[in-house]
Each structure stands twice: as C-alpha cells, then as structure tokens.
Amino acid sequence: MTKGKSPIMTQMEKVFRHTRANSFGTRARYESSCRNFVGFLDEKFKMKNLRNLQDKHVIAYIQYRQAEGISPKTLKNDLGAIRYMHDMIPNVKHEISHNKGLKDDFSVALDKTPAVKGNRAWTEREYNDMQQFVQGMARTDGRGAETAADVRDVMQLARTMGLRVTEAVAMSRSQVEQALRTGIYQVKNEAKNGKWRQVPLSRQGRQVMENKIKNVPRGERLFIRPEEKTHAAVNRVEKFMQNNRIQFETIEGREVRLYQGVSNALTYHGLRYNYVQDRMRQEMEKGYSKLQVATIVTKEVGHERIDVINIYLGGEITIN
C-alpha cells in the first residue's frame, strides 16, 4: 500500500471525524474497514476523490479480499462500512449497488454467512428477575439509580420492540411524540448502517415513552444526560448490564444459550432474539406461513435478507 496520507485517505478521515451516526464502537469498526479499502483504491486505481467511487472499484476490492481468504461475514461487514462512508460523502457521482445488485448485475459471489451460532434469548425468569432488580435499584437514591432506570427501560424496548441498544438510547423526544400519535416508532440514523425502519409500538414501549417524555425537554433525547455523548450513554447502560447480569443467569438459560460448549452471556442483543421468537409465534398463530411471517419480522428488526431470521430463532424454527 502507498505510504503516507493520500487525498482520498484525508477525505475518508474527514467523513468519520464529522459523522455522528451510529455508536462510537460501530463508527470505529467502519473507519478501520474503510481505511483498508481506501488504501486499496489509492494503490490500485490512483483515485484522487472519493466522490468518483463506483461499483467497479467495490467489485475489484471484493475480488482482492476474497483472494486473501477473507470470510464472507467479514467481507459483508466491509461492504456495510463502505456504503456507510459513501452515504456521508456529499455530491457523489455514482450510486453503489447493494449486495443483491452486485450479485445479479455483476455475478459477484457473496457466499451466505453460516450465521446461526446458537440461541441468545433470555428465559422469562432471567428477564423478570433482572427487571425486578433494576426496578428496585431505580427507586433508591443511591449511586447508579438513574442508570438502573435507564437499563430497565432499554431492556423493555429491546424485548418488546426489537430495538438495538443504541437505537433505544438515542431515542429523541420528537421520535417518541410521533410514535405516541401514530402507534409506529420510526428508527432513524441511529440504526445500524443508518437504515431507517418502522416498528410497531408495543404496550410496554408506550408506557416507557409516556413516563420518560414527561421530564425531557423538546429537542433532547430520552436516555442521554446533558453534555453526555451518545456512545458514552450506550457504554453506561451496557457496563451496568455486564457488571450485574451473571447473578441472574439460570441453569435453564445457560443450556438454552449453549453453543459449542460455551453459554452465550445475557445481553441487550439477546432480547432481540426474544422479540423475534415472540413475533414469529404470534403471527404464525394467526395462520400465516413461516416465510410470510419472516418477511414481516425481518423488516421490523432492520434486516433485508429473510434468512437472517434463522440467526434469531437459534434453530428453534428454520425459515427455508
């Protein structure tokens, strides 16, 4: 790779220096992926301006990475990062195709990722016990009471609406006002890869929003304190979970989450597994097929490929 900073490397760094979409950790991963990609563009194509980026450059990079033996999952993550960067560049000259377009129009082979790595869902007992713990702590005047209340609410939003932790923490008053009026919550730029989507407002989600919005001024966010950055708020609620979750793990839960001899830990992401599994059962009980239901639920959790739902089902129900 070319030594020193090229013009396009400087452009890339400027993009990531000024963007605030997604969490701090996600942006850092995307920047790392894009740094490799931009280095490739500089050496292979001598590109001077990222606004000229087009499919042929992306295809060449895919072929280069595949020749290196990079896994399909890592490659797809790289492509997500590239599209994220491209969306942030003003006045681009070309659109970048999605994975399906690359496959259909250019015969690019992107093997499916063997994604199912066990179930991560919580048991009802684990969820209820953790909720009782944070509820009790939130009612005290002790240190951590405010964070405990945030954890309680974010857990409910993940469990009953399938929100990612960053999507819940970054929730704004204006988004909540709209959801309370329409019954639909609009996930915006805080979504993974910046993909907007609409999620049905759950009964528990409505209660959380109605309670939180009372003390949130217009223009502010529900879970982010004054002068606090989004990634810091996310880290705060995630750290609370990491420090307290082990005491609520059950033998049954460890068995449910066992994969290759190791039990997946309790996480906010695991509550999305609960959401998907519940929604699949609810809709299938209405008489819809697994494929029909997967089409609906896939959009609710912010994915494009229906087979991704197999990950969240943890092998319990398989979508063919």
What sign has the CA pseudo-torsion 250, 137, 224, 200?
positive
- pLDDT band of residue 304 (cuts 50, 70, 90) is confident
- pLDDT band of residue 318 (cuts 50, 70, 90) is low
**What's residue 29's pLDDT?**
87
Characterize the bridge pairing of strands 184-187 and 197-200. antiparallel
* Interacting residues of 315 by C-beta distance below 8 A, sequence separation 6+: 116, 118, 119
**What's residue 111's pLDDT?**
66
Please tell me the distance from the alpha carbon of residue 304 to that of residue 298, in angstroms, as a whole number. 7
Q: What are phi and psi of 258, to 5 degrees?
A: -70, 130
Characterize the bridge pairing of strands 258-259 and 262-263. antiparallel
Burial of 30-60, coded b for 16+ CB within 10 Å and e otherwise, reads bbebbbebbbbbbeeeebeebeebebebbbe
Please tell me the distance from the alpha carbon of residue 223 to that of residue 318, in angstroms, as a whole number. 36
- 80 near 30, Cβ under 8 Å? yes
Secondary structure (3-state) at 198: strand
For the chain, state the CA radius of gyration.
21
Just give the CATH number of 124-311. Answer: 1.10.443.10
CA 304 to the chain's CA centroid: 13
pLDDT tens-digit map of 106-143: 777 776 654 567 899 999 999 999 999 999 999 998 88
**What's residue 223's pLDDT?**
96
pLDDT tens-digit map of 212-266: 999 999 999 999 998 899 889 999 999 999 999 999 999 999 999 998 888 999 9
**What's residue 105's pLDDT?**
77
Please tell me the distance from the alpha carbon of residue 82 to that of residue 97, in angstroms, as a whole number. 11
- 120 near 264, Cβ under 8 Å? yes
| Other Cβ atoms closer than 10 A to 184 | 11
**What's residue 71's pLDDT?**
74
- pLDDT band of residue 28 (cuts 50, 70, 90) is confident
- 175 near 213, Cβ under 8 Å? no
- 306 near 319, Cβ under 8 Å? yes
- 186 near 177, Cβ under 8 Å? no
Which residue intervals of the chain bear CATH 1.10.150?
7-106
Which CATH number fits the domain 7-106, given the four candidates 1.10.287, 1.10.150, 1.10.1060, 1.25.10?
A: 1.10.150
Which residue intervals of the chain bear CATH 1.10.443.10?
124-311
Mean pLDDT value across residues 202-209? 97
**What's residue 129's pLDDT?**
98
Please tell me the distance from the alpha carbon of residue 258 to that of residue 94, in angstroms, as a whole number. 45
**What's residue 19's pLDDT?**
84
CA distances in angstroms from 43 to 13, 48, 49, 57, 253, listed in the order given: 17, 11, 13, 12, 50
> 306 versus 319: which is more confidently predicted?
306
**pTM as predicted:** 0.66
> What is the average pLDDT score of the chain?
89
Secondary structure (3-state) at 118: coil
Closest CA to 113 of 75, 73, 66: 73
- pLDDT band of residue 1 (cuts 50, 70, 90) is very low
Secondary structure (3-state) at 17: helix
